[in-house]
C-alpha cells in the first residue's frame, strides 16, 4: 500500500474530528456534559482514548470545538448576507428562509445542539464568547431594523431573535406537526410592516 499524501491525512483527520464531535454532541445531549466521559466518547466513536486525545486535549476542548463550529457557521452566514446587494428587508427575509432551510436539512443536529444549550453549567466557561456573539448579532439586526425605520430597532431585534428561536424550538420538538413553512411566511409578512417599509421601498 502506497503511503498516504498530506491531503489524504488531512481528509482523514477532518473526518475523524467530525465523527468525534458528532458523537460527543449526541452523548452530551443525552447524558449531560458532566456525566459523559472521554472514554465513553472514544468508545462510541469507535476509536481509542489515546487517539481521541490526539485530536482534543480534554472534554472541555471538545465542547469548545463544537460551539466553535456553531459560531463559525453564524459568522459565515452573516458575512454571506452582508456581502450581497440587498435591502434591509431582503436581508431579514434571507435570514429567516435560510435559517429554516438549514434546520430542516439537519433537524437531528440542531435538536442535539439545542439540548446542549440548556446545560448552562457546561457552557459557563464559554459564556463570555457566547454573549459577545449574541451582542454582535443583535447589533447587526438592530442596524437592519433601524434602516427600515422601526420606532424601536433594538427591541425589534430582540423580538425577531425570540421569534426565530421559538419557531425553531417548536419545530425541533414536534417537527412535522409544527407548521414551520407557514410560520416562516407569517413572520416575513410581519416584517414587511416594520416602519411602513414596504410602502416606501
Q: Is the pLDDT of residue 11 over 50?
A: yes
Q: How far is CA 10 from CA 34, 67, 113, 199, in A?
A: 31, 22, 26, 53
- Give the domain range for residue 165: 60-200
CATH of the domain at 109: 1.10.357
Q: How confident is the model at residue 9 (pLDDT cuts 50, 70, 90)?
A: low
Provide the b/e sequence for 60-90 (b: ≥16 CB within 10 Å): eebbbbbbeeebeeeeebbeebeeeeeebbe
Q: How confident is the model at residue 3 (pLDDT cuts 50, 70, 90)?
A: low
Q: What number of CA atoms fall less than 13 Å from residue 137's CA on the CB side?
A: 22
Select from 64, 63, 69 the least CA-distant residue to 33. Answer: 63
How many separate domains does the chain show?
2
137 vs 75: CA distance, rounded Å: 9
Q: How confident is the model at residue 2 (pLDDT cuts 50, 70, 90)?
A: low
Q: Is the pLDDT of residue 20 over 70?
A: yes
85 and 184 in a single domain? The answer is yes
The pLDDT value given to residue 146: 96
Q: List pLDDT tens digits, range 24-51.
A: 999 999 999 999 999 999 999 999 999 9
52 and 64 in a single domain? The answer is no
27 and 106 in a single domain? The answer is no
24 and 116 in a single domain? The answer is no
Chosen domain end from 18, 33, 57: 57
46 and 118 in a single domain? The answer is no
The DSSP secondary structure of the chain, one letter per residue, reads -PPPPHHHHHHHHHHHHHHHHHHHHHHHHHH-STT--HHHHHHHHTS-HHHHHHH-SSHHHHHHHHHHHHHHHHHHHHHHHHTS---HHHHHHHHHHHHHHHHHH-HHHHHHHHHHHT-TTTTGGGHHHHHHHHHHHHHHHHHHHHHTT-SSHHHHHHHHHHHHHHHHHHHHHHGGGS-HHHHHHHHHHHHTTGGGHHHH-
23 and 67 in a single domain? The answer is no
Q: How confident is the model at residue 200 (pLDDT cuts 50, 70, 90)?
A: very low
Q: List pLDDT tens digits, range 85-144.
A: 889 999 999 999 999 999 999 999 999 999 998 998 899 999 999 999 999 999 999 999
Record the pTM: 0.85
CB atoms within 10 A of CB 12: 11
124 and 113 in a single domain? The answer is yes
Q: List pLDDT tens digits, range 166-198.
A: 999 999 999 999 999 999 999 999 999 886 655
The pLDDT value given to residue 80: 85
154 vs 55: CA distance, rounded Å: 41
Task: List the grid coordinates of 28.
Answer: 452530551
CA 76, distance to chain mean position in Å, is 11
Amino acid at each position: 500500500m502506497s503511503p498516504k499524501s498530506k491531503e489524504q491525512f488531512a481528509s482523514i483527520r477532518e473526518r475523524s474530528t467530525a465523527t468525534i464531535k458528532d458523537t460527543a454532541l449526541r452523548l452530551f445531549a443525552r447524558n449531560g456534559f458532566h456525566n459523559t466521559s472521554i472514554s465513553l466518547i472514544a468508545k462510541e466513536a469507535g476509536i481509542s482514548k489515546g487517539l481521541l486525545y490526539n485530536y482534543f486535549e480534554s472534554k472541555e476542548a471538545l465542547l469548545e470545538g463544537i460551539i466553535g463550529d456553531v459560531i463559525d457557521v453564524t459568522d459565515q452566514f452573516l458575512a454571506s448576507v452582508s456581502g450581497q446587494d440587498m435591502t434591509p428587508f431582503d436581508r431579514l427575509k434571507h435570514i429567516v428562509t435560510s435559517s429554516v432551510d438549514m434546520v430542516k436539512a439537519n433537524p437531528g443536529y440542531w435538536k442535539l445542539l439545542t439540548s446542549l444549550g440548556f446545560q448552562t453549567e457546561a457552557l459557563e466557561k464559554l459564556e463570555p464568547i457566547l454573549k459577545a456573539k449574541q451582542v454582535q448579532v443583535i447589533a447587526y439586526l438592530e442596524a437592519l431594523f433601524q434602516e427600515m425605520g422601526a420606532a424601536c430597532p433594538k427591541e425589534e431585534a430582540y423580538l425577531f431573535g425570540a421569534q426565530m428561536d421559538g419557531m425553531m424550538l417548536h419545530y425541533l420538538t414536534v417537527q412535522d406537526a409544527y407548521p414551520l413553512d407557514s410560520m416562516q411566511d407569517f413572520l416575513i409578512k410581519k416584517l414587511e410592516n416594520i416602519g411602513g417599509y414596504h410602502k416606501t421601498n
